[in-house]
Chains A and B, each alone.
Chain A
Amino acid sequence: MTDHERSTGDTQPSLSRRDLLAGAAGLIGGAALAGLPLAADGQSPTPPIAIPQNAVQPTPPMRPVAPFDATKRLGAPTAQVGSRSEFYAPTRTPFGDAVGSSLSPLQDLTGTITPADLHFERHHAGIPMLDPDRHTLTIHGLVDHPLTFTVHDIKRFPQVTRTHFIECSGNGAAGYRDPKPELTPQRVAGLLSTSEWTGVPLATLLREAGVRPDAKWMLAEGGDACLMARSVPIAKALDDALIVWAQNGEPLRPAQGYPLRLLLPGWEGNANVKWIRRLELGHQPWMTRWETSKYTDPLPNGTARIFTFEIDAKSIITSPCAPQSLVEKGWHSINGLAWSGRGKIARVEVSTDAGRSWRDAELLTTPQPKATVRFQHMWHWQGDEAVLLSRATDDAGFVQPTRTALIAERGIGTSYHYNQIVGCKVARDGAVTFHGAT
């Protein structure tokens, strides 16, 4: 929202009558609270206007001041590395811990690809610094030829480039357990990101090593300070698993596994082991700490599902969202993201009446397997209170359930794989809040 914040009014160019009129209209329409840019003539944004601030408002970051007329001033020179517009400063939510997570600012992003520096983070022992000239990947266990590959070796194999999301299976706990109105999409579902990944199919490497017929599971181990380890069924390893080294056109970011990571399309984030250094093939799962004490799903009947790898069909509206405000009545684009770990998104529906009726949303991108799609529903807001919801269906037949249905199935205290329908509530004055009680 930093790009939407309005300055408290310092160095301002002289105001035209039109500007003043626009400012007045904004005040009447509630724009002073929302801080949304205004266009008096519907064509060009007006320059910043001094608007008296309400005393109870949080202090917004200082808004950059642009030249009044950029066509009359020489622009900035070229640079070695680009940077974002000063008017756009999206951030993750780091807690400053080595063991922890940082959420992607979903409400500030468009399309489906997550800029690499805004990809969510979840580390169990911090981000290791690995030298790509020394890092290796070893495949051993139930193989005919135990092999070690350098990063350079990996890049000699035929490569593939595919777009997939990664979602931490803990994504959405806050919106499930305690759906507070102030929750933003970042807080509700920010442990989700999508990238274009480049790497080698793991099947290619495994064929090189020669998988023995009795190999049923594979232990994937990372080179971080906890030697993160997860057991993966061999069928997945031979199906669509990748060893990737690049993300969105450049090498992986350290936080995403530089120089190599395992990618298991559609499977819970933790199993996509970063900084991958070792793959051991065996008969049974290893029962590591993460796949037993952590990433298991308690059920109301006093059991817990183990090895729940697949990410369930899910969606979230990212615009509008809390804590924005709708300023104008009339047409608005309701849009957001939908994804499933079981295949392609087949359908996304949007409701503007709290789930009483649903309409098919437009899919703005062609659905790909185990990748996010952006959906849109054009909505004419007439100033009434409204609850906006989205519901995804995948081509495997899974439909996103309501929170009530998911609680009945899994219990309020369950952990992981929260894919309940969520949305937002638009008040008469345009204020938008999270709506999680579905």
Chain B
Amino acid sequence: MRPTKRIAVLALLCAAAACTRADESSVPQYGIGKPATDSAVAAMNYDISGEGAELPAGRGTVAEGTALYAAQCAQCHGKNGEGAGPGLPALVGRDPKGEQFQFANDPKLVHTIGNYWPYATTLFDYIKRAMPLNAPGSLADSEVYALTAYLLAANAVIPDTTSLDAATLRAVRMPYRDRFVADDRKPGAR
């Protein structure tokens, strides 16, 4: 190959490479896999993020949640959410005067929803996702709202009279949310 020709070929190759790079984010490379339709994705996506934008329609009261808790949750988590050992964690427990997020200094301080969880929306997400343990995914959205309401009220986060829906749940701010900090350890630190 003559030098001029070689340069021309190289230029073409470079252009092709640049083209590939530019389109990397949008062009399938191997063409393997099938398009996931919106309905297929919706059928498996129950995510409720911290902001709660995805919260569904429905509504539940503390009173409804109290009855549901007794029927579906108390057998594992205790009559009053006190828990039953590893794997069956405590849910309820607030001592606003005493707890003060001193978990690192006091190994006996039990983590509960009220004294630890940073986001109320996480309760909805988790209950809908995983509870009850022996029948996950069996609760209707209104029942999940009711249980979320009961657990927040039992932890003195919201009043007993609350009726929870998407808007009111989004507005709940957990007591210790601002205690969570990013991991900023540098090399050599602990």
Is residue A180 within 8 Å, beta carbon to beta carbon, of the partner chain? no
Which one of B5-13, B60-68, B115-123, B158-166 contacts A? B115-123
B180–A412 contact, CB under 8 A?
no
Q: Which residues of chain B have C-beta atoms less than 8 A from A289's C-beta? A: 122, 125-126, 130
What distance in Å separates the Cβ of B120 from its nearest Cβ neighbour in chain A?
Answer: 10
B122–A415 contact, CB under 8 A?
no
Residue of A nearest to B36 (CB): A146
* Contact indicator per residue, chain A 197-237, by CB within 8 Å of chain B (1) or not (0): 00000001101111111000001010001110100000000
Choose one: B29, B37, B88, B118; the contact of A287 (CB below 8 Å). Answer: B118
Distance in angstroms between the alpha carbons of A311 and B59 in the assembled complex: 42
Is residue B3 within 8 Å, beta carbon to beta carbon, of the partner chain? no
Is residue B75 within 8 Å, beta carbon to beta carbon, of the partner chain? no
Which one of A5-13, A248-256, A276-284, A350-358 contacts B? A276-284
Choose one: B26, B121, B122, B188; the contact of A210 (CB below 8 Å). Answer: B26
Distance in angstroms between the alpha carbons of A227 and B127 in the assembled complex: 11
Is residue A292 within 8 Å, beta carbon to beta carbon, of the partner chain? yes
Q: Which residues of chain A have C-beta atoms less than 8 A from B105's C-beta? A: 300, 411-413
Is residue A99 within 8 Å, beta carbon to beta carbon, of the partner chain? yes
Q: Which residues of chain A have C-beta atoms less than 8 A from B104's C-beta? A: 298-300, 302, 304, 410-414
A296–B40 contact, CB under 8 A?
no
Residue of B nearest to A400 (CB): B190
With A125-B130, A157-B30, A302-B102 already in contact, the answer to whether A287 and B188 are too (CB < 8 A) is no
Distance in angstroms between the alpha carbons of A221 and B49 in the assembled complex: 13
Q: Which residues of chain A have C-beta atoms less than 8 A from B95's C-beta? A: none
B46–A307 contact, CB under 8 A?
no
Q: Which residues of chain A have C-beta atoms less than 8 A from B51's C-beta? A: 284
Is residue A427 within 8 Å, beta carbon to beta carbon, of the partner chain? no
A208–B46 contact, CB under 8 A?
no
Distance in angstroms between the alpha carbons of A97 and B85 in the assembled complex: 12
B180–A306 contact, CB under 8 A?
yes
Residues of A participating in the B interface, judged by any CB pair closer than 8 Å: 97-100, 124-125, 138-140, 144-149, 153, 156-157, 177, 204-205, 207-213, 219, 221, 225-227, 229, 277-278, 280, 282, 284-289, 292-293, 296-300, 302-310, 312, 342, 396-399, 401, 405-406, 409-415
Is residue B4 within 8 Å, beta carbon to beta carbon, of the partner chain? no
Is residue B113 within 8 Å, beta carbon to beta carbon, of the partner chain? yes
Residues of B participating in the A interface, judged by any CB pair closer than 8 Å: 24-30, 32-37, 40-41, 44-51, 86-88, 100-109, 111, 113, 116-119, 121-122, 125-126, 129-130, 133, 136, 179-183, 187-190
With A227-B46, A296-B180, A398-B188 already in contact, the answer to whether A148 and B25 are too (CB < 8 A) is no
B109–A413 contact, CB under 8 A?
yes
Closest 4 CB pairs of A and B: A411-B104, A226-B130, A287-B50, A397-B187
A207–B24 contact, CB under 8 A?
yes
What distance in Å separates the Cβ of A391 from its nearest Cβ neighbour in chain B?
Answer: 13
Choose one: A97, A212, A415; the contact of B25 (CB below 8 Å). Answer: A212
Residue of B nearest to A100 (CB): B87
Distance in angstroms between the alpha carbons of A288 and B49 in the assembled complex: 7
Residue of B nearest to A419 (CB): B190
Query: Which of B32, B48, B100 lies at the interface centre, i.e. has the most chain A CB atoms within 10 A of its CB?
Result: B32
Distance in angstroms between the alpha carbons of A139 and B28 in the assembled complex: 13
12 A-B contact pairs sorted by A residue (CB < 8 Å): A99-B88, A138-B41, A146-B41, A148-B34, A148-B36, A221-B47, A280-B47, A286-B50, A299-B181, A303-B180, A307-B183, A342-B187
Query: Which of A287, A299, A412 lies at the interface centre, i.e. has the most chain B CB atoms within 10 A of its CB?
Result: A287
Other A-B pairs beyond A208-B32, A219-B47, A305-B181, 12, CB < 8 Å: A156-B32, A205-B33, A226-B129, A284-B51, A287-B119, A292-B118, A293-B116, A305-B180, A306-B180, A306-B183, A396-B187, A413-B106
A100–B86 contact, CB under 8 A?
yes
Q: Which residues of chain B have C-beta atoms less than 8 A from A310's C-beta? A: 183
Q: Which residues of chain A have C-beta atoms less than 8 A from B28's C-beta? A: 145, 208, 210
B45–A280 contact, CB under 8 A?
yes
What distance in Å separates the Cβ of A64 from its nearest Cβ neighbour in chain B?
Answer: 36
A282–B107 contact, CB under 8 A?
no
B87–A97 contact, CB under 8 A?
yes
A287–B122 contact, CB under 8 A?
yes
B190–A401 contact, CB under 8 A?
yes
Residue of A nearest to B37 (CB): A146
Distance in angstroms between the alpha carbons of A207 and B119 in the assembled complex: 33
What distance in Å separates the Cβ of A113 from its nearest Cβ neighbour in chain B?
Answer: 29
What distance in Å separates the Cβ of A217 from its nearest Cβ neighbour in chain B?
Answer: 10
A303–B35 contact, CB under 8 A?
no
B30–A156 contact, CB under 8 A?
yes
Q: Which residues of chain B have C-beta atoms less than 8 A from A293's C-beta? A: 111, 113, 116-117, 122
Residue of B nearest to A213 (CB): B25
What distance in Å separates the Cβ of B178 from its nearest Cβ neighbour in chain A?
Answer: 9
